[in-house]
Amino acid sequence: MAFTHAFDPTVLREYDIRGIVGRTLHPADAHAIGRCFGSVVARGGGTTVAVGYDGRMSSPVLEPHLVAGLKDSGMEVIRIGLGPTPMLYYAATTMKTGGAIMLTGSHNPPDYNGFKMMLNGKPFFGTQIRDLGRMAATGDVVAKAAGSDRLVDVSGAYIDRLVQDWDGGARALNIVWDNGNGAAGEVLQRLVQKLPGNHTVLFSDIDGRFPNHHPDPTVPKNLDALVTEVRTRGADLGIAFDGDADRIGVVDDSGVMMFGDQLLVVLARDVLKAHPGATIIADVKASQVLFDEVAKAGGAPLMWKTGHSLIKAKMAETGCPLAGEMSGHVFFADKWYGFDDALYAAVRLLGIVARMPGKLSAVRAALPHVINTPELRFNCDDHRKFEVIEEVAARLKSAGAKLSDTDGVRVLTDDGWWLLRASNTQAVLVARAEATGEAGLERLKLALVEQLEASGLEAPDFSGENAGH
């Protein structure tokens, strides 16, 4: 019988495939993804696909169906088992597989799951993901073949490679880690045994129900336990991961959360010592402080589109040694492989802190102080959201405003900047503003509201939405 399959239209996202298990995502979907993706790899001359999965309750249920679909496309499937997403990226990169699929719900609630993919060492996203839907619906796959699968334990080699780039000398740091019951658990426990210092690991057991807190390190309340432990133990810093450990969260020695752009300043200063003049990439949501500090450190700051797949592609194009996003994705191509790996970013950060003459909190406090809104999201029809961005950009350009339209509209004024962009994954618009003072921030928010109302939208409530940064 010929193969065809229809996906729920909500699961094929811009950067990955993601849905609610039992409602929008089913074992048949996992098989179809394997069947179609395996066909893409085969048509490109590839023969191997690496597969890994995270700690969610549904992951070991879905993984065999994914493998079966890949084998039906003639693939040799290298199954690396349970672990963090970057460990799969490492396996695919070092083993030079034709493709890779990570079964993970990332930082979504426990009932979600999904798939992140690589093709020939590069991100597989956007139209490529949507094309899998077309292939499944029309049965556009290679003839059924008998592939194979084998289990390969890459964890030891991965951990050794992480430790290889430790550069902090003999200083014994006091570090608290928050695994958040995520997929890094076992790897993290083994990693800290090979690093110098005193290590405390919170919620190290892998539990897809996430009983202690939601595994998203960009949300302050999710770091409460880490903050408490850092302060109680007088630790040098605290490090948290999301559910599949491709995103990092950091708490300094005083128990204050460091934003993604503040972390990137610390990392960029160090990387630029070895690569003077190098391009450092950050997404459009990052603080102007980051771009200014990169320039001060002798780098060439580049503002780029939000989205880990888009950042990775731009890094490869520019030869950039380091990039990051506000969401906690950090990409090292300096000594590493260019993919987002929170465990690797942690090792590099620890080395920097170990070589610091003072404390991490002092470095954070010395950065120029700005105030900003958090990321504000409000509903807007999937088609209308892009039209609004075009309308706002056109009005601002005709008024002679200083703006970047790299990803949405980011407007620079004497007060600071404000951003409006369309989400690539949801029917929402995303807004943010940053200024050096309260009065300036109010003016920026007013300008943003005026533009939204000019496009017939009800502006979000910005009241009480300011925070130091």
Whether residue 34 is predicted with pLDDT greater than 80 in this model: the reply is yes
pLDDT range class, residue 426, cuts 50, 70, 90: confident
Amino acid (1-letter code) at residue 426: Q
CATH number of 371-468: 3.30.310.50
- Cα–Cα distances (Å) from 447 to 276, 288, 370, 433, in that order, read 38, 18, 18, 10
Q: Output 344 or 465, whichever has higher pLDDT.
A: 344
Whether residue 466 is predicted with pLDDT greater than 70 in this model: the reply is no
Do the domains at 157-366 and 371-468 have one common CATH topology? no
Cβ neighbours of 182 (radius 10 Å): 30
> Regarding the domain with residue range 17-153, which homologous superfamily does it belong to in the CATH classification?
Alpha-D-Glucose-1,6-Bisphosphate, subunit A, domain 3 (3.40.120.10)
In tens, the pLDDT along 232-259 reads 999 999 999 999 999 999 999 999 999 9
Q: Do β-strands 112-119 and 237-241 pair in parallel, antiparallel, or remain unpaired?
A: unpaired
* Domain range annotation of the chain: 17-153, 157-366, 371-468
> Regarding the domain with residue range 157-366, which homologous superfamily does it belong to in the CATH classification?
Alpha-D-Glucose-1,6-Bisphosphate, subunit A, domain 3 (3.40.120.10)
Q: How far apart are CA 88 and CA 50, in angstroms?
A: 7
**Per-residue confidence (pLDDT) for residue 467, from 0 to 100:** 62
pTM attached to this predicted model: 0.94
In tens, the pLDDT along 141-184 reads 999 999 999 999 999 999 999 999 999 987 899 999 999 999 99
**Per-residue confidence (pLDDT) for residue 157, from 0 to 100:** 98
Residues with Cβ within 8 Å of residue 223, at least 6 apart in sequence: 178, 217, 238, 240, 249, 251, 257
pLDDT range class, residue 465, cuts 50, 70, 90: low
Cβ neighbours of 469 (radius 10 Å): 16
Question: Tokens for 362?
Answer: 């002092």
Return the sign of the alpha-carbon dihedral for residues 216, 220, 224, 227: positive
In tens, the pLDDT along 299-309 reads 999 999 988 88
pLDDT range class, residue 462, cuts 50, 70, 90: low
Whether residue 460 is predicted with pLDDT greater than 80 in this model: the reply is no
State the catalytic residues.
106
**Per-residue confidence (pLDDT) for residue 469, from 0 to 100:** 67
Average pLDDT across the chain, whole number: 95
pLDDT range class, residue 41, cuts 50, 70, 90: very high
pLDDT range class, residue 420, cuts 50, 70, 90: very high
**Per-residue confidence (pLDDT) for residue 322, from 0 to 100:** 98
